[in-house]
Chains A and B, each alone.
Chain A
Amino acid sequence: MTAIYGLFDKPEAAQRAYTGLKRAGVATGDITVISAEPFEAFEFSHRDHSMILFRLALVGGIIGFVSGVLLTRGTELAWPLVTGGMPIVAWWPNLVIIFEMTMLGAIVTTVVSLLVSSKLPAFRRGLYDPAVSDGKILVGAPLTGGRTEESVREALAAGGAVTVKTAEL
């Protein structure tokens, strides 16, 4: 698959190119924007906003909580030793373990969700240019869905691209 991308000095120019590509009929999901830092103030950054990580962290926390309850209660019932006059299932001390396992569940789930949803680790790199590390912002789109190279190049150049390049993915 062939993709066309432009490199931009300023986020304002990248935003113009992004808007131009949308006007040229490129679907939002097909436009790639890559930068060496996040630009939260610009529209191109907003399309991926989602609360999914927060929800998954909550699920991870619940899994950790249930695991903590099962581990402590199950152990105490399987080895019913009286310690310090406490009941066999001693909820006060168990709460410490349950709390730690709840937080561990939330933390580990967050990291796993981040990696999976960001497609990391990525063994094959998609559209990329090392110039991004020099501060350039990459805006590009694949040549699919019947769109022509000229229309994409035109939108990128109109935005103020420093260079426009072709990449084989």
Chain B
Amino acid sequence: MSDYAVALTDDLLRPLIKTSWRFWTLVVLLLAVVSLGIGAFAYQVNAGIGVWGLNSPVFWAFDITNFVFWIGISHAGTLISAILRLVNAEWRRPVTRCAEVITVFALMIGAMFPIVHLGRPWLFFWLMPYPSERLIWPNFRSPLVWDFFAISTYLTGSSLFLFLPTIPDFALVRDKTTGWRNRLYSILALGWTGTTKQWHRLESAMQIMAIAIVPVAVSVHTIVSFDFSMAPVPMWHSTIFGPYFVAGAIFSGIAALIIAMAALRKFLHLEKYLHPVHFENLGKLLLMMSLLWGYFVFAERLTTWYGNGVSEMTVFWQTQRLSFAPLYWTMVTANFIVPVIILSFRKLRTIAGCVVASFGVVLGMWLERFLIIVPTLSHKYLPYSWGSYRPRTPEILLLIATFGAMVLFYVLFSKLVPIISIWEMKIGQHPQLAHESQTTDEAQTMWRTQP
């Protein structure tokens, strides 16, 4: 094995084998944050959903904002990873698993919110088509049932897309460990040995999964947008919502990925594998999505303004000039002005620059989801039905707990699974040569597979 491969294996297995007190401190802190959310949810179940700030006519607010936001964040991983795999982008190798993990956990958190939002969450299984004695059956014409199918498919596909390429790495950890770790990874490795047939089947399966998962990912956020756009409600009933939501989802997903990668790089000392060029490439992608997001917002706003419908304009002005304007312009600044300024200039497109822009985008995209939902619901058609919304403590605690849960899941995952695919990194050491006279070193530099 080359020196690079030895160092690679050691560096990526170290977090699995060695545990510092800092890790346990972080886990305890994150558990405390998550417990706040669990406590808030328990209080809500016990006292009823009235403990939230929801009130007629605003029946969707923080919970559905969180749902759309986290489903959006989930688009970082599997979709980006699948596209990079399909186009055979060599720089993807250290990025894909970090990204795929985000998808699975963000989907789990996001999918929880429609259930949390149910007045009686323990009856969530009524959404499933099964022959119950009450003859309850889902109505397939409802976009909420489409959500159930889309998210279930995406979660299943993404989990498998994440799991399959970890099998060879589990086999490696199995061979490198003893005791309970050896037993655990022996089970997870499923008896993988690495025969040529197994490798070929795995690569074929990953190719098929990548092809299949891209349209599923696009469909998921399109269907989430249908939750709004299928209703003849001001500023919701729009044909642009599908692509607008998908673009926003990818946008927020890339931002989350950049933040996660920067944290992994710093805390797991992965500087040798997560290079500035990875952040620069993702930064360019984030810049492109920021411009695309700006384009969609402009198209949506101009169409509404030009149409000048009374009910549409009521919601429009609420966000542009009235009570929601501070949040709206914060969103525009965080999603468009800051990222475009930072990421347009090469000198600013550093790791720190990308992280700052990404934090802005995460904040901005949460605000965007909130501003799609609440201003519209609070200012629908007839003024006598207008109302207002102010979040209460349980909702705020639940929101904070979701971020804690995401970080906790990520930390625990990186403790149990090599966060960068070791075998895929090894392949990057003998990259495809662009022409016969090219040396492996030249190809590695060209594909940027080594520092």
Contacts and interface: CB of A to CB of B under 8 A. Distances in A.
B175 A130 contact: yes
B426 interface: yes
A72 interface: yes
Interface string B1-16: 1100110000000000
Interface stretch (A19-27, A93-101, A148-156): A93-101
A71 B137 CA distance: 11
Contacts of A108: 156, 160
A57 interface: yes
Chain A CB within 10 A, most for which of B129, B140, B427: B140
Nearest to B198: A118
Interface string A43-83: 01101111001100100000000000001100110110101
Interface stretch (B116-124, B207-215, B311-319, B386-394): B207-215
Contacts of B234: none
Interface in A117-162: 117-128, 130, 132-136
Interface string B152-196: 110011001000100110011001100000000000001111111
Chain B CB within 10 A, most for which of A34, A75, A76, A133: A133
Contacts of A130: 175
A48 B194 CA distance: 13
Nearest to B188: A121
A57 B200 CA distance: 16
Contacts of B164: 111, 114
Main DSSP-derived SS at the B contact region = helix
B80 to A, nearest CB: 18
Contacts of A34: 193-196
A45 B195 CA distance: 9
B191 A125 contact: yes
Nearest to A73: B140
A33 interface: yes
Interface string B387-404: 000000000000000000
B151 to A, nearest CB: 9
A113 B205 CA distance: 9
Given A79-B137, A83-B139, A122 B193 contact: yes
Which size class do A's interface residues fall under?
35 or more
A121 B350 CA distance: 44
A78 B139 CA distance: 11
B153 A36 contact: no
A104 B141 contact: no
Contacts of A75: 129, 137-138, 140
A161 B203 CA distance: 27
A36 B191 contact: no
Contacts of A124: 191
Given A83-B141, A117-B201, A132-B175, A96 B149 contact: yes
A54 B204 contact: yes
A87 to B, nearest CB: 10
Contacts of B209: 107, 110-111
A123 B172 contact: no
For the complex of A and B, list the 4 residue pairs with the smallest distance between their C-beta atoms, beginning with the closest.
A135-B1, A122-B191, A133-B175, A38-B199
Given A107-B209, A133-B171, 15 more contacts: A37-B168, A38-B196, A38-B199, A38-B423, A75-B140, A83-B139, A96-B219, A96-B223, A100-B149, A106-B208, A108-B160, A115-B190, A123-B191, A125-B191, A130-B175
Interface of B: 1-2, 5-6, 129, 137-142, 145-146, 149-150, 152-153, 156-157, 160, 164, 167-168, 171-172, 175-176, 190-205, 208-209, 212-213, 215-216, 219, 223, 226, 423, 426-427, 430
22 contacts: A33-B196, A34-B193, A37-B194, A37-B426, A38-B199, A38-B202, A38-B203, A53-B204, A53-B205, A97-B146, A100-B152, A101-B153, A103-B216, A107-B160, A107-B213, A110-B208, A111-B164, A122-B192, A122-B193, A126-B193, A127-B193, A133-B175
